Chain A
Amino acid sequence: MSDQPLFSVRNPWFRTSVGITVVIAVLSAIAGLIWLPLAQPNLKLAGVWDAICSAAGVPRAALQEAAVKPDFKTSNVVMTSEMLTKVNQVSIGRGATLAQRCAICHGPQGVSDAHSPNLAGQFAAVTYKELNDFKTSARVNVVMSPFAAAMSDQDMKDVAAYYAYLPRVPSNNLDTRRPAPAVVVTGAPMRNIPPCGSCHGDIDNKAGSPWLGGQSAVYIKAQLEAFASGARRNDISQQMRNIARQMTPEEIDQVAHYYEAQP
């Protein structure tokens, strides 16, 4: 025994065990990489090489089949959480000049009582997205659409940077002791409503979701109703319409007045 080398093809034990292991590996590879993929007709494989690549997980771009085009304009903004988060003094300065034409409705300091949105301290990505959506007609408003139509991409970024730079000013209806409605804090999980605060800043902030504190209740209510009815459709992939549709008129009223009273 002792004079026989262990790892040698002359050792029958070594030869047999390695041989059987190789046979199992080859058979498994044939089954897993060729036979099983080809046994799935819905994969529509082009051949053996395609089957091997698919089973091995080689990524490929999804086939571009003819998609049904929308009969309305959708937002074309590519929203990321890094978007317009870098402060640029030149941009803010340019924005301050451009924003003079906005002051009649949005106030000289980005705050007004005209039931138009208060823009002071709003996230730059939010203001930019809405301006862009007005420009592309994804969102339509008789007053805003003509203003946005004349703005360049850089103009919109500058105005957004300027309003993000202005400090938030509490509204005349500030009341921090007002209890938060359930839908803001916990949502209504049984009706597919997540908490408002999980995107709009009280708990967490999702890119593109506006800060709602101090906004006019009339404005918030009008927008929620527009999302619910489908009159406003510039939310990417229906993210806000899905929620507004499920809200009751009472809940819409509650959140509108709650956010108006927040700083």
Chain B
Amino acid sequence: MASETDHSLGEAVAARVERRWATLSIIIVGLLVGMAAYIGIHQATMPQGRVETADPKTLHLSGEFIESNLGSEMQADGSVTVRAIGQQYSFTPQCIVVPAEMPITFRATSADVVHGFLIEGTNVNTMLVPGYVTDLPVRFKAAGDHVMPCQEFCGIGHQGMWGKVKVIDKAAFRDLAAAKRRLTCVD
């Protein structure tokens, strides 16, 4: 049977160990929250800040996703907005033209089922969900061509569904935008 002194000694050791473990756990939790915040600010994961809805059945009747409004638009503040839709089994516009080194916002949605929106060679990778608008800020570093395959199985013709993204020089884009209000590179 342990004496009174032994018991208080054991209690002190247990309390010390508990305190260290608690401190370590709190540091780990704090570090994880800090990491999430840092990634959020620097857009490594690009979480979408807003939930916007759009009826997939009536996209072609009115609103920003009507056929003639799709493509790249030069905004008054110097940024570019690109609107696109995914449908079984193509993207419209089939070829998207954007400038390099300028802030770009992709706004896209689906007209039928869930499609994937991925631009090869960049960190653009999200989903087009029917009923919701995907809104994504992007900046392309250099001119060049990228493929944009649907990366979410969307039906039996899924493998044939992809688009092109053509990144061109800033000045060349401005010239194109001066001549036409919505730009695409569909031939």
- Interface magnitude class on chain A: 35 or more
Contact status B160-A192, CB under 8 Å: yes
Knowing A61-B52, A61-B53 touch, does A242 contact B60 (C-beta < 8 A)? no
A31 to B63, CA, bound (A): 34
Which of B52, B57, B68, B112 interacts with A59 by CB under 8 Å?
B52
B157 touches A54 (CB 8 A): no
Does B144 reach chain A (CB closer than 8 Å)?
Answer: no
Chain B contact patch, size range? 35 or more
A-contacting 9-mer, from B33-41, B116-124, B169-177: B33-41
Contact, CB under 8 Å: A76 / B59: no
Chain A residues positioned under 8 Å from B64 (CB to CB): 62, 64-65, 67
Q: Assess whether A62 is in contact with B54, with CB atoms less than 8 Å apart.
A: yes
Question: Is A90 interfacial (CB-CB < 8 Å)?
Answer: no
Stretch in A38-46, A100-108, A215-223, A255-263 with 4+ CB within 8 Å of B: A38-46
Determine whether B92 belongs to the interface, using a CB cutoff of 8 Å to chain A: yes
Q: Closest CB-CB distance, A128 to chain B, in whole Å? A: 15
A13–B67 Cα gap in the complex (Å)?
Answer: 63
Q: Does B185 contact A (CB under 8 A)?
A: no
Asked if A86 lies at the interface with its beta carbon under 8 angstroms from chain B, I say no
Within 8 A of B (CB), among A166-190: 187-189
A78 and B156 contacting across the interface, CB-CB below 8 Å? no
Cβ of A153 < 8 Å from any Cβ of B?
Answer: no
Report if A17-B58 is in contact (Cβ < 8 Å); known contacts: A40-B49, A237-B111. no
Q: List, in ascending order, chain A residues with CB within 8 A of B158's CB.
A: 194
Name the CB-closest residue of A to B33.
A28
0 or 1 for each of A8-24: is its CB under 8 Å from B? (1 = yes): 00000100110010001
Interface 1/0 per residue, A199-221 and B, CB below 8 Å: 10001101000000000000000
Taking a contact as CB atoms closer than 8 A, the residue among A31, A80, A242 that contacts B94 in the complex is A242
* Residues A195 and B160 in contact in the complex (CB < 8 Å), given A64-B63, A67-B64: yes
Within 8 Å CB of B182, what residues of A? 68
Least CB distance, B164 to chain A, in whole angstroms: 8
Determine if B50 and A43 form an interchain contact, defined as CB atoms under 8 angstroms apart.
Answer: yes
Residues of A within 8 A of B53 (CB): 59-62
B89 contacts A by Cβ under 8 Å: yes
Q: Which residue of B lies closest to A28 (CB)?
A: B33
Q: Which residue of A lies closest to B49 (CB)?
A: A43
Given the interface contacts A192-B90, A193-B160, A237-B85, does A78 sit within 8 Å of B155 by beta carbon? Answer: no
Chain A to chain B contacts (Cβ below 8 Å), 30 pairs = A20-B26, A31-B37, A32-B36, A43-B50, A59-B53, A60-B52, A61-B53, A62-B52, A62-B53, A62-B54, A62-B133, A67-B62, A74-B60, A78-B61, A187-B157, A187-B159, A189-B159, A192-B161, A194-B156, A194-B158, A195-B156, A198-B88, A199-B88, A206-B88, A237-B85, A237-B111, A238-B92, A242-B94, A245-B186, A245-B187
A residues near B, CB below 8 A? 1, 13, 16-17, 20, 24, 27-28, 31-32, 35-37, 39-40, 42-43, 54-55, 57-65, 67-71, 74-76, 78-80, 187-189, 192-195, 197-199, 203-204, 206, 236-239, 242-243, 245
Give residues in B with beta carbon < 8 Å to A. Answer: 11, 18, 22, 26, 29-30, 33, 36-37, 40-41, 49-54, 57-70, 85, 87-94, 103, 105, 111-112, 132-133, 137, 155-163, 181-182, 186-187
